[in-house]
Amino acid sequence: MARIIPARGAVEEAAERLSRGELVAIPTETVYGLAADATNGEAVARIFEAKNRPRFNPLIAHVADRAMAERIARFDALSSLLADRFWPGPLTLVLPLKAGSRISSLVTAGLDTIAVRMPVGVARDIAARLDRPLAAPSANPSGKLSATTAAAVEAGLGDRISLIVDGGAARIGVESTIVRVADGQLTLLRPGGVPAEDIEAATGKPVRRSETGAAVEAPGMLASHYAPAARLRLEIASVRPGEALLAFGPHRANGVEKAMATRNLSAGGDLREAAANLFAHLHELDASGAATIAVEPVPGDGLGAAINDRLARAAAPREPVVAGNGAS
Ligand code: TXA
Ligand code: MG
């Protein structure tokens, strides 16, 4: 059972727990979010564990103010205009990730873009007190409906989190609208609390919509997903010359001395630590210039399922990007 505390007076305790790497369920004007410190990879890994998410979708970073947003994302004139007009509120902007931001690569799923929004109310106050962005997907078990009350959060996740901040029923009750802003173009990745027509009226620009609806179900799952340039060879027993090695646990595969570069997801075999390191380590090994990254076996239980899902996608033959399918 999670403890449920009223939003009034919750800011300090929520921020304190978040700063220790705990998860806290928080109200927003759209739906309740399951929040972690977005700069703490292991805390973000706990989100996927608690939701039982089988995949590492990128998460939205919730910010307290524009200064915090500009520390993690690059704004141009168009995205600045949208933030001026719709923040705080139910609009999420997918923008270029700012170099040197301390956001965990698990939040962006290794992409070079980041989804940012400034929520209304206590969620914003908690981010301000923590002085860091909050990574927060909807506070429901994977595959279930989003929670719009503290009681619904408790029913779905109460046995997996210790604190729920109760802000009453979510005012809007559907998720935020997600819009990608790139090269002066607007693309709707998910319809939500702000109608696309309002965005068009505010900017005088068309909002490209998905034709198939594929991007509506799972933006960020398709063409936008980070894929290393190197090929991946999974469940290896021995390293071949010229390969880079992605290791896991205390015992090494044969032939590690042949590896061009090595990173260990978790020397102690901790899946939470491995999840937190996954994208950063893939990027680093990719940058070593090796044509192939050899990957030691990772167990499939708990967060291992999502880690193996990600590795299998990175290892699969590349799908051509279909023009006009709306996938981002
Ligand atoms: O209203 C909301 O947006 C709620 C509240 C808690 O803020 N949050 C929410 O989060 O709905 P979530 O994780 O359930 O959905 C976030 C969506 C995912 O579908 C993800 O793929 C997409 O945002 N996303 C995040 N970062 C992205 C990126 N860099 N590029 C494309 N899509 C991204
Ligand atoms: Mg959701």
Taking CA atoms only, the protein residue closest to ligand 1 atom 7 is 33
pLDDT of residue 211: 54
Phi, psi angles (nearest 5°) of residue 71: -80, -20
* 195-250: pLDDT as tens digits: 999 999 999 999 998 654 444 334 444 445 788 999 999 999 999 999 999 999 99
pLDDT of residue 317: 73
* 292-323: pLDDT as tens digits: 999 999 999 999 999 999 999 889 876 554 43
Give yes or no for residue 57 CB within 6 A of ligand 1.
yes
Taking CA atoms only, the protein residue closest to ligand 1 atom 12 is 137
* 169-204: pLDDT as tens digits: 999 999 999 999 999 999 999 999 999 999 999 999
Ligand nearest to C-alpha 117: 1
pLDDT of residue 1: 85
Give yes or no for residue 266 CB within 6 A of ligand 1.
no
Taking CA atoms only, the protein residue closest to ligand 1 atom 6 is 33
Task: Kindly report the pTM of this predicted structure.
Answer: 0.91
Ligand nearest to C-alpha 95: 1
For residue 26, pLDDT beyond 50: yes
pLDDT of residue 299: 97
* 234-290: pLDDT as tens digits: 999 999 999 999 999 999 999 999 999 999 999 999 999 999 999 999 999 999 999
* 104-155: pLDDT as tens digits: 999 999 999 999 999 999 999 999 999 999 999 999 999 999 999 999 999 9
Q: Which residues surround ligand 2, an ion (CB under 5 A)?
A: 138
For range 68-74, the mean pLDDT: 98
Give yes or no for residue 58 CB within 6 A of ligand 1.
yes
pLDDT of residue 111: 95
pLDDT of residue 226: 80
How much of the chain exceeds pLDDT 90, in percent? 88
